[in-house]
């Protein structure tokens, strides 16, 4: 795919400064704690039930049906919860489920497939590794004039999700910056290695990292603080003429500049940078670096059809509530958040709400739990189901108590009907005896999105999630070893359903992103065999690798947006906050040449690489 705006082909020559270079970005193993697993149980006739550790039960259903040559209604797929996913169980679980189902039907007995860690790492796809070739022209003040870039990706021996992954990389090649003239193209490459797949960010981190490298090149070429270059090139406010992305979507509700300025002040970035430069002048071995980087991440599936969700809500006549929806729980807290939505709708304690295992037999045609849309989609679908039931309950109250609708109010575990207070369970039982339907199927589809891939234009994202991070590091120049000394994070989460879960996701996403950029190195031999296929050879971050000092917060109230988006996507956007670590390492390395040469660190920047 190619995205164009302006006249990059000719305008690339019409700026006084120009840099042409490349960057290599490594892949990443998902390293979910629970490996892939599938259990198939044969039933009568064509029926088969599959328990699968998958982020996309409906796709497993369709794949198993296809392999067995039967209709989808004969296959029921269930997922209670997963021990981690991170995108690695969006499509890669299909093969294990299909193998188990074929064997189960052939042998007429239950069959389970569960690869051990080495097998799982060897045969499943990873984050795509990229090579970014960029040609950028700019002015002495750091303002970008034109960009021409190619994002090439190792896809493996089959397509899997490589098309949409490389598309999303282009959607985020602008990172947070307005390019007056731009042409960016993707090159998905077939290789003799395992098929790569979805991973937290889905190509967005690779696209964004390439954009941040361009900012870094400009900063070293002009002698400017990289933060000043970033701020100079940010997208502007509506009406500024600097809001159109390379895919021709307007950037609306842009809070990035005030958010970055708030973090710049709270982290004391300017004073600390001056102190670090002074420290480096006096330190022959240990060098320090600091960087403050932004995040602007599009929220929605780029495949428009996936932006839909269903939910099933039953209110039983004792006042307990049964909830089922198409989202899957993999440790991110989705079940808790959607249960909170239901409890809030009825104003009952959350322990009244029971979420049952995700199953294709209750909510059909579900989308993958991915794209940071799980809470948005399933929460809104559950809300729609609750709304239908509440409307019936309010109608019943008005009819039975002979009051107007405004005289019916849901209070904690009770209702106010006129001047009478009625316990929730008593009220529900009365509605049941009046034959009020206490069950509903909810549905939600994301509005305002469309995408014409052939034209490279559209509105693929409902909104953007924003954040910023400031990281400080130290490097031993004799060994290449380094430490992340301090991290400050400011992240916009909109109306947080559960601050504790959100902070955990933000901090966990940061550490996972830090691992991708610093320690997690995949290595294949000449025959395409993965050699880093165990914890002994593949280095995920340890608890001791966490920043020695860290803070996580959200913007002050006046910086938050007030508009019609449902709930905020935050997991993927948090992952890219870790780019500040790589940029800080780059500054530490650049101090050796008095900050006059861009170090051009590839990722992961392992000690040998630094």
281/319 same-domain check: no
273 plus 144 within the same structural domain: yes
Mark which of 121, 141, 162 sits at the end of a domain. 121
Task: Convert the pLDDT of each residue in 550-579 to its tens digit.
Answer: 777 777 654 444 444 555 555 558 999 999
Residue 562: what pLDDT? 40
Residues 295 and 314 grouped into a single domain: no
Identify how many contiguous H helices and E strands the chain contains and give both numbers: 15, 23
* Structure-token pair, residue 292: 């403050």
Q: SS3 for 156?
A: strand
The answer to whether residue 377 scores a pLDDT higher than 60 is yes
Over residues 439-466, the mean pLDDT reads 96
Give mean pLDDT, residues 499-515.
95
pLDDT of 553? 76
Of 383, 415, 445, which residue constitutes the final position of a domain? 445
DSSP string, 163-206: HHHHHHHHHTTTTTB--SEEEEEEEEEE-SSPPP---TTTTHHH
Distance CA 164, CA 170 (A): 10
Asked, for residue 418, whether it belongs to a domain, the answer is: yes
Strands 130-138, 144-156: pairing is antiparallel
Whether 605 is in a domain gets the answer: no
Residues 485, 384: Cα–Cα separation, whole Å: 46
527 and 507 belong to one structural domain? yes
The verdict on residue 584 lying in a domain is yes
Residues 427 and 474 in one domain: no
Quote the domain boundaries for residue 563: 2-28+126-301+453-593
Distance of CA 100 to the CA centre of its chain: 30
- Mean pLDDT score, 430-445: 98
Q: What is the mean pLDDT of residues 481-504?
A: 93
Average pLDDT rounded to a whole number, residues 524-550: 91
Q: Does 572 share its domain with 473? A: yes
pLDDT in tens, 234-252: 999 988 999 999 999 999 9
* Mean pLDDT to the nearest integer, 533-561: 79
pLDDT, mean of residues 31-38: 97
pLDDT at 415 over 80: yes
| 602 belongs to a structural domain | no
Residue 600 lies in a domain: no
601 in any annotated domain: no
Residue 598 within a domain: no
pLDDT above 70 as % of the chain: 97
Check 29, 521, 568, 583 and give the catalytic one.
568
**Residue 555, CA atoms < 13 Å, CB-side half-sphere:** 23
Q: What is the pLDDT of residue 603?
A: 97
175 and 204 in a common domain: yes
The residue from 411, 445, 479 where one domain ends is 445
Asked whether residue 371 falls in the same domain as residue 404, the answer is: yes
175 and 273 within one domain: yes
Helix (H) or strand (E) holding 393: helix 374-401
Split into its structural domains, the chain has a count of 3
Q: 248 vs 208, 242, 490, CA distance in Å?
A: 17, 11, 28
For residues 359 and 223, membership in a common domain is answered with no
Catalytic site residue 34?
A: no
CA distance 330 to 376: 16
pLDDT tens sequence across 50-92: 999 999 999 999 999 999 999 999 999 999 999 999 999 999 9
pLDDT at 482 over 90: yes
User: How far is 149 from 565, CA to CA, in rounded Å?
Assistant: 32
Question: In the prediction, which pLDDT does 135 show?
Answer: 98
Please give the Cα distance from 29 to 70 (Å, whole number). Answer: 34
Co-location of 466 and 440 in the same domain: no
pLDDT for 572 equals: 59
SS3 28: strand
Query: Span 256-270, mean pLDDT?
Result: 97
Mean pLDDT of 328-355: 97
CA distance 158 to 553: 41
Is there a single domain that holds both residue 334 and residue 270? no
Report the chain's mean pLDDT, rounded to a whole number.
95
Read off the pLDDT of each residue in 407-425 and give the average, rounded to a whole number: 97
CATH number, domain of 53, equals 3.30.365.10
């Amino acid at each position: 795919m190619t995205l164009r705006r302006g006249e990059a082909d000719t305008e690339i020559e019409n700026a006084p400064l120009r840099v042409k270079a490349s960057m290599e970005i490594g892949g990443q193993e998902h390293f979910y704690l629970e490996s892939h697993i599938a259990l198939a149980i044969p039933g009568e006739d064509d029926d088969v039930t599959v328990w699968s550790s998958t982020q996309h039960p409906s796709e497993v259903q369709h794949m198993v049906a296809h392999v067995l040559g039967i209709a989808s209604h004969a296959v029921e797929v269930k997922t209670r919860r997963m021990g981690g996913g991170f995108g690695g169980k969006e499509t890669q679980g299909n093969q294990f489920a299909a193998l188990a189902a074929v064997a189960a039907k052939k042998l007429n007995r239950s069959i389970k497939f569960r690869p051990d860690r080495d097998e799982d790492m060897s045969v499943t796809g990873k984050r795509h590794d990229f090579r970014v070739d960029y040609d950028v022209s700019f002015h002495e003040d750091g303002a970008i004039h034109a960009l021409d870039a190619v994002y090439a990706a190792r896809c493996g021996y089959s397509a899997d999700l490589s098309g949409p992954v490389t598309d999303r990389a282009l959607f985020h090649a602008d990172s947070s910056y307005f390019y007056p003239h731009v042409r960016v193209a993707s090159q998905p490459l077939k290789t003799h290695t395992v098929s790569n797949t979805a991973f937290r960010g889905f190509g967005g981190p690779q696209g964004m990292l390439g954009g941040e490298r361009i900012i870094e090149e400009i900063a070293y070429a002009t002698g400017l603080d990289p933060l000043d270059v970033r701020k100079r090139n940010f997208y502007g406010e509506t009406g500024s003429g600097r809001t159109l992305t390379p895919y021709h979507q307007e950037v609306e509700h842009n809070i990035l500049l005030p958010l970055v300025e708030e973090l710049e002040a709270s982290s004391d970035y300017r004073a600390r940078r001056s102190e670090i430069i002074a420290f480096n002048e006096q330190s022959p071995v240990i060098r320090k670096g600091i960087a403050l980087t932004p995040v602007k991440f599009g929220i929605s599936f780029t495949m428009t059809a996936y932006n839909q969700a269903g939910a099933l809500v039953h209110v039983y006549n004792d006042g307990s509530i049964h909830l089922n929806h198409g989202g899957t729980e993999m440790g991110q807290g989705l079940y808790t958040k959607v249960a909170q939505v239901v409890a809030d709708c009825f104003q009952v304690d959350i322990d009244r709400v029971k979420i049952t295992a995700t199953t294709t037999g209750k909510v059909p045609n579900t989308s993958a739990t991915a794209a940071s849309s799980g809470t948005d989609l399933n929460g809104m679908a559950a809300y729609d189901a609750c709304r239908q039931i509440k409307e019936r309950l309010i109608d019943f109250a008005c009819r039975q108590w002979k009051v107007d609708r405004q005289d019916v109010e849901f209070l904690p575990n009770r209702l106010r009907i006129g001047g009478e207070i009625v316990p929730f369970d008593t009220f529900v039982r009365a509605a049941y005896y009046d034959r009020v339907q206490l069950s509903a199927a909810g549905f939600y589809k994301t509005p305002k999105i469309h995408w014409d891939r052939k034209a490279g234009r559209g509105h693929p994202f409902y909104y953007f999630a924003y954040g910023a991070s400031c990281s400080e590091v130290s490097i031993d120049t004799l060994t290449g070893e380094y430490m992340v000394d301090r991290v400050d994070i400011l992240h916009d989460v909109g109306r947080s359903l559960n601050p504790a879960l959100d902070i955990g996701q933000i901090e966990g996403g940061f550490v996972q992103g830090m691992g991708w950029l610093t320690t997690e190195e995949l290595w294949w031999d000449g025959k395409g065999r993965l050699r880093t296929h165990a914890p002994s050879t593949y280095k995920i971050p340890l608890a001791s690798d966490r920043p020695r000092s860290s803070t996580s917060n959200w913007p002050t109230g006046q910086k938050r947006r007030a508009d019609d988006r449902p709930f905020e996507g935050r997991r993927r956007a948090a992952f890219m906050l870790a780019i500040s670590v790589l940029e800080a390492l780059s500054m530490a390395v650049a101090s050796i040449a008095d900050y006059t040469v861009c170090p051009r660190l590839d990722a992961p920047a392992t000690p040998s690489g630094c």
